[in-house]
Structure 1
């Protein structure tokens, strides 16, 4: 199976790590865009005021104080956190300041604790292209942790844009192996796919080839989104050197996000299985939740339920 660990790792029933509720977690030169060069002063001023008002002093590492008549930070506090003069910041909030540089915008984003989307929005309304992300997010949102734990009869795991496995539920260990025994920096699905030893007939399966092709197309998209990410660059360089098949597929320059695919697996303990491998994109972190979805009433669904009963007993 394309997403499995090397032989012997999958199919073993082991206890999950304590304290995770059944889910295991891993540790771990822009210019201006055409049509985006206009500084929208009024919109920038409104946005700065609204973000300042919502931020509590404690969140920014400041004392609450006893004489705050309005919620949020004071202007001078934002200016201090951003390393700029209070007069300069006041002019920005009044819609009459100079065109802020990218360095000023980055400092304001840090001071106001903006999210990735808010940071991109700040740059755009200030007439600048949105900053590139340094690399894929490896932070697992609490909501996704709870979702994985709640999927008691469905194998599921979470990967980042570079296909590093970040979290998984107990049923997933029957297919991707007991990842808690694998070092965090070795939990990469694409490396498993192209560096492990497989039978000669393995790559004759059209579903295997489709899975590999779409995975590489998705990896290339991430390679373009995160040009400064060293881990992605090193992964690509490594596989180009050790896998002629990866090199041939990479040379096709296909780009695109993963799509669902039907998988047929001869599992060593559960027998023949068929399910849809559904890939759910998580926009706020650019991660993918990979879920094995059986047909209702099918033999595969029954097998998943039997495993869930064994795991919970």
Structure 2
């Protein structure tokens, strides 16, 4: 049980709610944001004293029934409720290290996909595998320095990449929200993994934007359905973005495709034919 993180998470979820969100009258003379602690306690059917101790990291581990009551009182999503149970120690933790080895069948699939830029990401956004079209569209990660193979680190600490911020993508701000939420969840799943905790601390120390977003305690962000890469050779490439969870290794297979016959599909076909070496010549020529 992570008492400190549990208390901070409960407080962050309480402060984002208004009385009318949970069917209570607003009243007057509210000096703090969100719901009062006693209001959450009533909604969760627990004592105010116990709830206060939970937020102050002084309470014993709550039962599954108490956590269910808190999840309902705070209107938590499924992802937030799962995170609550992880912090409270009532859900199974991944006590080892996060997996960085990619299943051979997935590696083969990545290379066989036609007209699709594909990358495999670890639980902390490290690019573990990619195909040549992804290298031409984004970066040849096999040739990149190790610190540049992590998309979260690139998004927050290296904004001036080879094609502008994060390879010229149009939604850097949205990606940063997504990255922080996923890293917050990964931090709860792998509390003893030094790579996970080290990356979080590096980003908190190096990026004021990351530190600000980290304090929000979000563990879920809206999915990204489309993305625009502003490529230095072929111009804007608008792609559909699909992230498929590989649950056995806690990894994601991310696929970038474009509708058949579209200008972006033609751009992907050109990049696929040219390959990363040809695109590098175009970038520098």
TM-score by length of 1: 0.54
Structure 1 distance, partners of 2:212, 2:62, is 35
Deviation at 1:165, TM superposition (A): 0.9
CA distances 1:86-142 after superposition (whole Å, capped 9, x unpaired): xxxxxxxxxxxxxxxxxxxxxxxxxxxxxxxxxxxxxxxxxx974533121111101
SS of the counterpart of 1:171?
A: helix
Q: 2:73 aligns to what?
A: none
* 8 Å Cα contact 2:136/2:272 also seen in 1: no
The answer for the alignment partner of 2:99 in structure 1 is 137
Aligned-pair distance for 1:186?
4.5
Alignment of 1:217-232 (within 5 A): 217-232=181-196
Q: Paired residue for 1:171?
A: 133
1:281 is aligned, of 245, 269, 277, to 245
Instruction: Describe the SS at the equivalent of 1:179.
Output: coil
Q: Whole-Å Cα distance in 2 between the matches of residues 222 and 299 of structure 1?
A: 37
Higher-helix-fraction structure = 2
Tell me the residue number matched to 2:224: 260
Equivalent of 2:199 in 225, 235, 238:
235
Q: Is the 8 A contact 1:135 1:229 kept in 2?
A: yes
Change (3 A) 1:178 1:234: same
Work out whether residues 162 and 219 of structure 1, in 8 Å CA contact, stay in contact via their aligned partners in 2.
yes
Distance 1:306 1:300 in 2: 10
Q: Which one scores higher on RCO, CA 8 angstroms, separation ≥ 6?
A: 1
Give me the whole-angstrom Cα distance separating, in 2, the residues matched to 1:150 and 1:298: 22
Count of aligned residue pairs for this structure pair: 189
Report the aligned-residue RMSD: 3.0
Alignment of 1:26-45 (within 5 A): none
User: Do the aligned partners of 1:33 and 1:129 also contact (CA within 8 Å) in 2?
Assistant: no
Change (3 A) 1:234 1:279: same
- Partner in structure 1 of residue 38 of structure 2: none
Structure 1 residue runs without a partner (length 5+): 1-30, 36-127
Q: Secondary structure at the match of 2:212?
A: helix
The structure with the largest alpha-carbon Rg is: 1
8 Å CA contact retained: 2:156, 2:207: yes
Residue 214 (structure 2) aligns with = 250
Q: Distance in 1 between matches of 2:220 and 2:236?
A: 30
| Deviation for aligned residue 1:306 | 1.9
Give the Cα separation in 2 of the matches to 1:310 and 1:129: 48
**Which whole-Å CA distance do the structure 2 matches of 1:179 and 1:132 have between them?**
27
Q: What TM-score, normalized by structure 2, do the two folds share? A: 0.59
